[in-house]
Chain A
Amino acid sequence: MKIYSNFNKYLLPLLNSVIPVFLGGLIYIAFRTKTLIMFQWFNLFNLSAAVLVTRNFTETRATYIPTWIIYSLPSALWMYSFTFSLTYIWLKSASSLKFLWILLPLFLGLGSELSQYLGWVPGSFDILDLLLYIFASFLAINVTIILKNNKGEVIK
């Protein structure tokens, strides 16, 4: 009997789009400065206590974590989720605009880094962020292609 793999069909795409951005969010909550806008949102939703408990546990351990994980990886994870989601939607489309949609997150990411470099927007330019954006985007597109090609694969 042939059984379609629901894991491949639904769960893997969902995990690829949700888990990375969730992990990135956790890194922000646990290790980044509390002046980020998201902390104001947490206050608004009465989540400050949960945030404080998490930070109590993590803040002394931050020293042992490489700085690129704290400062560059979350953006790359955001890029991965974003690119994966749009690629998953548009990959098999016949639309002439599909490549624009697929590459839109990368354009936004590179644009924001470039703007920081030129001093047009606040923040500091980091070449590592740029490289990780490109890598995450490339990885997301390839993972989507693999998943899409294996969609409907049979498990014996």
Chain B
Amino acid sequence: MKKEWKLTLISVTLIGFFLVLAVGSSDTDSDKQPSSNTSAPSSTSQETEYKVKLTTNASNIGNALTELGELAQNFQVSDEWVMNAALQVTLIRSYADEAIVMNVPPLYQSTHNLYIKGMEKYKESMDYFVEGVDNVDEKLIEKASVLMSEGAEYIKLATVEMEKVN
């Protein structure tokens, strides 16, 4: 009995340790996710709704990335430039978050996972971009650019896979 109590104590400690690790590997941004609607709409309308939302999201983030790319090519030390860049960065982060927390019908789950990976790359690239601009560090901006390209690769892959599903 005493031995079992000891094993239980060790096990509870281990569970605590592994749960802490699990918490550490969760995303802070996911906390912002609103609780999902549990009354799921019919599969077809859910899929249509998803496709509309995703298309809008892809278009929005694409526009913001293009704007930011143009700004990066015409780098200026001015308040206006900083304001514009900050706006695009905020938009990109926000669109990426929007895609990450999107309700996904099972049919598109695997393609959406690829899309999310692209979004995560974009978000990470924004961190480097902001740090790079703040410190006028070309190396960091370059890294941001590499991450953006990687993000775009994922989006491309997601699009190809989605076409197969459709």
Tell whether, in the assembled complex, residue B150 and residue A81 are in contact, meaning their CB atoms are under 8 Å apart.
no
Is the pair A21, B21 in contact by a Cβ cutoff of 8 Å? Answer: yes
Q: Is the CB of A74 within 8 A of B30?
A: no
Contact residue among B11, B25, B35, B113 (Cβ-Cβ distance under 8 Å from A36):
B25
Chain A binding surface, main DSSP class: helix
A124 at the B interface (CB under 8 A): yes
Which B residues from 1 to 56 make CB contacts under 8 A with A? Answer: 3-4, 7, 10-11, 14-15, 18, 21-31, 33, 35-38
Tell yes or no: A12 within 8 A of B by CB.
no
Range class of the A interface residue count? 35 or more
Number of A-B contacts (CB under 8 A): 104
Quick one: given A95-B4, A118-B38, are A36 and B124 in contact (CB under 8 Å)?
no
Q: Which residues of chain B are near A140, meaning CB under 8 Å?
A: none
- Of B10, B11, B112, B147, the residue contacting A124 (CB under 8 A) is B112
Contacts of B147 in A (CB 8 A): 59
Cβ-closest chain B residue relative to A112: B22
CA distance A37 to B143 in the complex (A): 22
A60 at the interface (CB under 8 A from B): yes
Residues of A28-45 whose CB lies within 8 A of B: 28, 32-38, 40-41
Cβ-defined contact, B11 with A60, below 8 A: no
* A152 to B9 CA separation, bound complex (whole angstroms): 26
A91 to chain B, nearest CB (A): 11
Q: Which residue of B lies closest to A63 (CB)?
A: B150
The yes or no answer to A138 lying at the interface (CB within 8 A) is: no
CB-contact partner of B7 in A40, A93, A119, under 8 A: A93
Question: Is there an interface contact between A90 and B11, defined as CB atoms closer than 8 Å?
Answer: yes
Contact B14–A119 (Cβ < 8 Å):
no
Bound: A52/B147 CA distance, A: 15
Contacts of B26 in A (CB 8 A): 36-37, 122-123
A residues with CB within 8 A of B: 21, 25, 28, 32-38, 40-41, 59-60, 62-63, 67, 71, 74-75, 78, 81-82, 85-86, 89-90, 93, 95, 101, 104-105, 112, 117-120, 122-127
A-B contact pairs, 15 of them (CB 8 A): A32-B120, A33-B27, A34-B127, A36-B25, A36-B26, A37-B23, A37-B24, A37-B25, A60-B143, A85-B14, A86-B14, A101-B11, A124-B112, A125-B109, A126-B110
